[in-house]
Structure 1
Amino acid sequence: TDMATSRPQLASLDAKQASGQHRPSKASRSSSTKMDLKHGLEECEVALKLFLNNKFKDALELLQPWAKDSMYHALGYSTIVVLQAIMTFEQQDIQNGISAMRDALQTCQKYRKKSTVVESFSSLLSRGSLEQMTEEEMHAEICYAECLLQKAALTFVQDENMINFIKGGLKIRTSYHIYKECLSILHILQKNKVEQQFFHEFEGGVKLGIGAFNLMLSLLPARIIRLLEFIGFSGNRELEMLFLLITFINHSIQYAIIRVALLQKPSLLIRFAGTGEVNLVEAENLLAPFLKQFPNGSFMLFYHARIELLKGNVEEAQEIFRKCISVQEEWKQFHHLCYWELMWINIFQQNWMKAYYYSDLLCKESKWSKATYVYLKASILSMLPEEEVEATKENVVALFRQVDSLKQRIAGKSIPTEKFAVRKSRRYSASLPAPVKLVLPALEMMYIWNGFPIVSKREDLSENLLLTIEKAETTLQNQNCSDYLVDDECLLKLLKGCCLKNLQRPLQAELCFSHVIQSENLLKFDHYLVPFTLFELAFLHKSQGDIDKAFKVLETARNNYKDYSMESRLHFRIQAALQLWRKPSSH
C-alpha cells in the first residue's frame, strides 16, 4: 500500500509500458539533466505496475537512475527499499532504507518552494502567495511529507533509544502539518478555480495523506489522542472517509491506491482493533479490479485471502495464501506474511502439526519477533500428545525457556506481545523445581490475536474449540492445586465464553464471563483477564440489544483498569467499538 507514493494511474497503462518498451532509453537519460513532472509520473506508473506484478527488481531498476533527480522517482524508489527493510527487519536493510529515504528527502527538497530565513520559521502558507507556487513545487510538498513519514517509521525501528523515538515523532508531526498546509493550498486552488495540468494528482495525494492520518488517529485510544492533540494533531473519522471516497470517485492518479488503502481497513479492524463488524462486500468490490488486472500479484492475492478468511472461508483462504507463496520467489520475506496466516488457519482448525510446521518456518526464517515465534511454536507443540511432540525432536520446556532471551525493543520499548510471551513463559523458569504447564496457550494466543471473530463465522470450528476447552477444564479439575489454578480456570472460562457467544448461547456465555469478573480478587498473575472479559461481555450485551448496558461495561473496562498485559491492544479495540456503536450509519 505504501507504493501509493508512486502515484500510479493504472487505467492508463498498457502491456507495452509494463514490459518496459516505452521507457526512456539510457541514452536519453544520460543526456538529460532533468525529468519533468509529466514524465516522472508516467514512469512511476510503469514502476508500480511492475511492482504489483511481482517484478520488484525491475521496478527498482526503472526508478533508480532518476532517484536523485526526479521527486517521484526518488519517492517510488525509496518506498520500495523501505518496504523491503520493514519486511526483512535486517539491520543492513534498515540502514539502506534510511539512506534511500534521506536521499529522497534531498531530491524532493530541491523542488520545494524556496523560502527566506524569516519565512523558514513560519508555516508553508507564509512563504508568499500560494497562487505563485508552481505546480511542481506543490507536488514536491506532498512527496516531501510522505518521505518524512516513511523515514520516521524506520527511525522507530533503527535503534531502541529515546532520542530516535523523539526524532521520529517530530518527523511525523512535520509531515502532518505539511499535509494540512497542502490541504489549504488545495482549497485556494478550488476556490479560485485555478487550472493545473496535474491538479487531480495533487488533490489525490493531499487527500490520501490527510485521510490516512485521520484514519490512524480515529483508531487510537482517547488518552493518546488527547496527548497528540496537545502537540498539534487532530482526528476526524468522517473527514477521513469523505476524503478517501472523494479521491476514489475523482479517478485521479490516486485511483488505484485509494482502493488498496481501503482494502486494509477491514483487515486492520478485525485483526487488531477487534470489533468484527466490517463491510466485506465493500472490500471485495474494491479488490475486484485489482484481481482482474493483477491475478498473480502477491499483494492482491494476499488481500484476497484475507477477505476470504474474514468471511470464514478458511479452506479457500488457505489455498490462496499458498498460491501467494508460489507466484514469486524474489521477496522471500513476503512468504513470511503468508506463513503467519497459514499458521493461524491451522490453529483455527486445530491441525496442530501443520500449525507447528509454519511456526517453525517463521522461527527459522523471519526476523520480526523471534520471542513471539518461539513462544507460539512451544504453545502449539504443547497442544499435541507427548508421542507426537517427541516425533518433532523438539523440547517444549526448553523452547519456553528461550523466550526471555529473544525479546527485543523498538523505539526504547518492549513489544507488548513479546512481554506477554515472556511473562507467560516464566512458568517454565529453570529455577523452578517442576514447571506448571500452561493451559491451552495456543488458544490463549489465538484470543490475544483476535482469532475468535473469524472462527465465529464457522459453527463447526467453534464447536470443536469448545470441546477442546471443556476437555481442558476436566483435566484441570483433576490436577493438584497450584498458585496458577484460579488464573487457569478464569482463562478457560473466558475462552469458553467466547465460543458460547459465537454459538449464539448468550446465557451460558454470560455465566462464564461473570465467573471471571467475580474472581478478580483471586487472580495472581493474569490480571488482563478481567478487562478483556468485560470487553467480551459488552459485545454480548450489544448483541442482545442492550446498547446502554454494553456502553457502561465498555467504559468500565476502559477506565477502571490499568497496567495489565496487552492494555494498549484492548484500548484500541474499545476505541474501535465505540466508534462503530456511536455512528453505525457511517459503517
Structure 2
Amino acid sequence: MNGQANGNEKAPAVQVSNLARDQSGAYVPSRALELIPEIVPILHTFLSGDMKEADEQLKNGDPRGETLYYSLGRCVIESLKAFMSFEHADLRDAIEISKHCGAVSQAHRRHVTSMASRISGFISRSTSGTAWIKGMNDVERHAELCYQEHLLIKAVLGILYSGDWFQFIKEALHLRSANIAYRTMNEFLREADVAADGYDNLIDQHFRSGVMFGVAMNSLILSLLPHRVLALAQLFGYEGNRTESLKLLYAIGGWTKDSDEPMVGNRRRV
C-alpha cells in the first residue's frame, strides 16, 4: 500500500467505514482520501506480520469493495499470498482481485471528456505528461498512483500464472506502461518542488511517498536482475540504478547517516 507507516501497534477491529460517505451511507468517490487515517493502522498491522488480521480488517471496512485504498490493500495482500505459495488457484484469485482493484482505481481516475481530447492528447502527449498530472485533483492523483500499482502487480501475477511467451510480452508492455507512469509522477513532484523553491507543501505525503516508493522499487528490482535478463528488460525501456533507488528509499522514511531512527515525513529530497 502507498503512504507511510511507523510503529507496530495493532489496529482495532474495523467495521464498515462511515467515512467518505453521505448521509444515506452511499460512498462518495470525491471524498476517498478521508479513509487514509483508517488505512494507516491496518498498514501497521500488516507490517507487524499479522497479514491475516489486516486482511480481515480490509474486508470488514469495505465489504462492497468500492473504496480506493481498501481495494488496493486487499490487492496487495492477496498478491503476496500468491507470491509466497505459487499455487495456481492463489495466483488466479489474486489476479481477479487485482482486476477489481484496477476497476475501482479507474473509476476514481481523471478522464478525458471527449474523443477530440483523446486524439489531441495522443498527439501532443497532453494526457500523459506532467501537465496531465498537475491538472488532477488530489483524489485523481491517488487514483492514478493506485492504478499503476495494480498494473504492476497484475502484470507480475499474469506472467507467473500463464508462463508462456505471449503472456510475458503482453505483461512486459503493461510493466513498461506503469514504469513510465511512475517516472512521470516523480517528474511532476520534482517540477512542483522546483516551482516552490525546494518543497511543495500542497502535495500530500502519502502521494509523494507512494510515488517515490514505486520508482525506487522498480529501479532497485531491475538493478538486481542477472545481466542477461536486464539486457532483455532494457529492450522494453527499463532501467535500474541501485544507488539512486536506495537514496529514494532513504528519503521516503527520512533516514540519514546521522541517526539510527528515521524521521518519517521529513522534507529532505534527493
Q: Provide the TM-score with structure 1 as the length reference.
A: 0.38
The one of 243, 250, 264 aligned to 1:245: 250
Matched, 1:44 2:39: yes
Structure 1 vs Structure 2: percent identity of aligned residues?
25
Report how far residue 155 of structure 1 moved.
0.6
Task: Confirm or deny: 8 A CA contact 2:209 2:252 kept in the other structure.
Answer: yes
Matched, 1:152 2:149: no
Report Cα offsets for 1:168-221 as digits up to 9, x if no partner. Answer: 21121111011011111111221222442x522222111111111221222234
Report how far residue 240 of structure 1 moved.
1.2
Report Cα offsets for 1:487-514 as digits up to 9, x if no partner. Answer: xxxxxxxxxxxxxxxxxxxxxxxxxxxx
Could you say which residue in structure 1 is the equivalent of 2:118?
117
1:83 & 1:58 partners in 2: Cα distance? 14
SS in 1 for 2:237: coil
Q: Structure 2 unaligned segments of length 5 or more: list them.
A: 263-270
Report Cα offsets for 1:279-329 as digits up to 9, x if no partner. Answer: xxx9xx689xxxxxxxxxxxxxxxxxxxxxxxxxxxxxxxxxxxxxxxxxx
**Against the structure 1 CA distance between its residues 67 and 165, is the aligned structure 2 distance closer, same or farther, given a 3 Å change threshold?**
farther
Report how far residue 72 of structure 1 moved.
1.3
Residue identity opposite 1:173 in structure 2: R
How many residues are paired up? Answer: 246
SS in 2 for 1:220: coil
**Against the structure 1 CA distance between its residues 149 and 131, is the aligned structure 2 distance closer, same or farther, given a 3 Å change threshold?**
closer
Task: Confirm or deny: 8 A CA contact 2:126 2:132 kept in the other structure.
Answer: no
Structure-to-structure mapping, 1:43-442, within 5 angstroms: 43-64=38-59, 65=62, 68-115=65-112, 116-118=117-119, 119-120=121-122, 122=125, 124-126=127-129, 128=131, 130-193=133-196, 194-196=200-202, 199-249=204-254
Residue identity opposite 1:48 in structure 2: L
1:54 & 1:245 partners in 2: Cα distance? 22
**Against the structure 1 CA distance between its residues 50 and 238, is the aligned structure 2 distance closer, same or farther, given a 3 Å change threshold?**
closer
2:255 & 2:26 partners in 1: Cα distance? 34
Q: Structure 1 unaligned segments of length 5 or more: list them.
A: 252-281, 288-587
Q: Which has the larger radius of gyration?
A: 1
Report how far residue 125 of structure 1 moved.
3.7
Matched, 1:7 2:10: no
Task: Confirm or deny: 8 A CA contact 1:47 1:62 kept in the other structure.
Answer: yes
Task: Confirm or deny: 8 A CA contact 1:8 1:44 kept in the other structure.
Answer: no
Q: Provide the TM-score with structure 2 as the length reference.
A: 0.77
Report Cα offsets for 1:429-471 as digits up to 9, x if no partner. Answer: xxxxxxxxxxxxxxxxxxxxxxxxxxxxxxxxxxxxxxxxxxx
Task: Confirm or deny: 8 A CA contact 1:23 1:43 kept in the other structure.
Answer: no
1:96 & 1:38 partners in 2: Cα distance? 27
Report how far residue 124 of structure 1 moved.
4.6
Residue identity opposite 1:135 in structure 2: D
Give runs of ≥4 in structure 1 deviating > 6 Å. none
Task: Confirm or deny: 8 A CA contact 2:39 2:70 kept in the other structure.
Answer: yes
Task: Confirm or deny: 8 A CA contact 1:145 1:178 kept in the other structure.
Answer: yes
**Against the structure 1 CA distance between its residues 130 and 59, is the aligned structure 2 distance closer, same or farther, given a 3 Å change threshold?**
closer
Task: Confirm or deny: 8 A CA contact 2:152 2:175 kept in the other structure.
Answer: yes
1:67 & 1:10 partners in 2: Cα distance? 29
Could you say which residue in structure 2 is the equivalent of 1:453?
none
The one of 9, 12, 18 aligned to 1:19: 12
Task: Confirm or deny: 8 A CA contact 1:68 1:74 kept in the other structure.
Answer: yes
The alignment's C-alpha RMSD in Å is 3.2
Residue identity opposite 1:71 in structure 2: L
Report Cα offsets for 1:105-146 as digits up to 9, x if no partner. Answer: 111112222133222574754485543221112112221111
2:160 & 2:130 partners in 1: Cα distance? 34
**Against the structure 1 CA distance between its residues 86 and 48, is the aligned structure 2 distance closer, same or farther, given a 3 Å change threshold?**
same
**Against the structure 1 CA distance between its residues 66 and 6, is the aligned structure 2 distance closer, same or farther, given a 3 Å change threshold?**
farther
2:228 & 2:9 partners in 1: Cα distance? 49
SS in 2 for 1:102: helix
Report Cα offsets for 1:198-250 as digits up to 9, x if no partner. Answer: 52222211111111122122223444434333321222223212211111218
Could you say which residue in structure 1 is the equivalent of 2:27?
33
Higher relative contact order, chain-length normalized (CA < 8 Å, sep 6+): 2
**Against the structure 1 CA distance between its residues 49 and 241, is the aligned structure 2 distance closer, same or farther, given a 3 Å change threshold?**
closer
SS in 2 for 1:10: coil
Task: Confirm or deny: 8 A CA contact 1:176 1:213 kept in the other structure.
Answer: yes
Report how far residue 102 of structure 1 moved.
0.3
Task: Confirm or deny: 8 A CA contact 2:213 2:248 kept in the other structure.
Answer: yes
Report how far residue 50 of structure 1 moved.
2.7
1:203 & 1:237 partners in 2: Cα distance? 20
Residue identity opposite 1:109 in structure 2: Q
Report how far residue 67 of structure 1 moved.
6.6
Residue identity opposite 2:103 in structure 1: Q
